[in-house]
């Protein structure tokens, strides 16, 4: 049986007394996995450990069954797109990728061909002769992506690859990630935006304050939310009446009245939602709209961290 593409066991990293990552264990097989977490959760630290830029304080990292530390040949199979918007600004886009291809070990002709193909793949071929300093943020993101692709790696580590991209570009890049996964590659994508990851994969690693808080599907993570109070927002022309009716009900933890709406905190969202629907139908309260205020990732993070 072949080893997992990514194998992490008991991985911790600390700087002095600051713990950046604590006791992470997971495995990845071919396909896309999303690494979710708010800024500062430890996503980039994990990528740096996976790429050998950092040494673990404790624990083990293996890629394709091999130790990362002191194993440069491993990077023939690994492509890394870092988060930092950093380049040798004076270079042209094609020159940047070609230079990295040369450093990777390809001859001059092959490096040029691979650089051209990589830029084509990220739809940046027409900007190859532009100076990097003159590229837009989205184009710079794609350039980072191109350098990670140039050697056709089996494992792609993408740290916030969609940052700064407009919606069209983001969709195109997501399609590219999906097509790479369809080719059999293993891809770990870090993001702090839930819908970006949802659009790519069901497989999620949720990182919060250096801890792996959840691992599984998006549904698993949503199930986690049942364990913490949720917030429902009810738009109504009579916030005072609705707040008075909701406050004594079981499952309602807190009520906050705002202009034109009431925010209900509940540990039984489905039950409370059912009551709102019935009360509105019977005329007990007037309801214009009901929505969950915490379906975005930041809110989920907030909830899980509390």
User: Residues interacting with other proteins, by CB under 8 A?
Assistant: 15, 45, 48, 51-55, 70, 72-76, 78, 80, 82, 84, 86-88, 90, 99-100, 102-105, 147
- Residue 163 CB, shortest distance to other proteins, in Å, is 14
Cβ distance to other proteins smaller for residue 78 or 208: 78
Shortest CB 7 distance to other proteins, Å? 18
Q: Where are the beta strands (DSSP E) in the chain?
A: 6-15, 18-28, 31-36, 58-63, 66-67, 78-81, 155-159, 186-191, 204-208, 211-216, 230-235, 252-258, 261-266, 289-292
CB of 40 to other proteins, least distance (A): 13
The number of residues making up the chain comes to: 306
Residue 102 vs 131, nearer CB to other proteins: 102
Closest by CA position to 28, among listed 47, 44, 45: 47
Nearer to other proteins, 70 or 283 (CB): 70
Q: Which is nearer to other proteins, 65 or 237 (CB)?
A: 65
Q: How far is the CB of 15 from other proteins (least distance, A)?
A: 8
98 and 104 Cβ atoms separated by less than 8 Å: no
CB of 150 within 8 A of CB of 139?
no
Burial environment of residue 283 by CB neighbours within 10 A (0 to 12, 13 to 18, 19 or more): exposed
- Rounded to a whole number of angstroms, the minimum distance from the CB of residue 219 to other proteins is 34
Q: What is the DSSP letter of 4?
A: P
- Residues 10 and 23: their CA atoms lie apart, in Å, by 4
- Rank residues 97 and 246 by Cβ distance to other proteins and give the closer one: 97
Nearer to other proteins, 8 or 78 (CB): 78
Of 282, 291, 286, the C-alpha closest to 243 is 286
Q: How far is the CB of 144 from other proteins (least distance, A)?
A: 9
């Amino acid at each position: 049986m072949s080893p997992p593409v990514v194998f992490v066991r008991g991985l911790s990293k600390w700087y002095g007394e600051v713990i950046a990552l604590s006791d992470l264990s997971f495995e990845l097989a071919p396909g896309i996995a999303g690494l979710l977490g708010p800024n500062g959760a430890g996503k980039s630290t994990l990528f740096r450990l996976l790429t050998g830029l950092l040494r673990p304080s404790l624990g083990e990292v293996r890629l394709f069954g091999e130790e990362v530390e002191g194993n440069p040949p491993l990077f023939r199979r690994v492509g890394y797109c870092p988060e930092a918007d950093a380049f040798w600004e004076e270079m042209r886009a094609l020159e940047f990728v070609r230079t990295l291809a040369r450093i990777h070990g390809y001859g001059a002709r092959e490096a040029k061909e691979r650089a051209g193909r990589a830029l084509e793949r990220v739809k940046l071929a027409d900007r190859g002769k532009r100076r990097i300093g003159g590229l837009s943020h989205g184009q710079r993101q794609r350039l980072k992506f191109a350098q990670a692709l140039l050697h056709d790696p089996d494992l792609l580590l993408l740290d916030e690859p969609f940052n700064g991209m407009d919606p069209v570009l983001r969709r195109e890049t997501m399609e590219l990630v999906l097509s790479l996964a369809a080719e059999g590659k293993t891809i770990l994508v870090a993001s702090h935006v839930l819908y970006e990851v949802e659009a790519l994969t069901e497989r999620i690693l949720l990182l919060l304050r250096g801890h792996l808080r959840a691992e599984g599907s998006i549904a698993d993570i949503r199930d986690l939310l049942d364990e913490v109070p949720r917030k429902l927002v009810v738009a109504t022309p009579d916030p005072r009446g609705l707040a008075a009716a909701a406050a004594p009900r079981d499952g309602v933890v807190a009520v906050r009245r705002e202009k034109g709406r009431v925010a209900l905190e509940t540990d039984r969202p489905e039950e409370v939602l059912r009551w709102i629907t019935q009360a509105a139908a019977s005329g007990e309260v007037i309801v214009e709209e009901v929505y969950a205020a915490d379906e975005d990732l930041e809110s989920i993070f907030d909830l899980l961290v509390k």
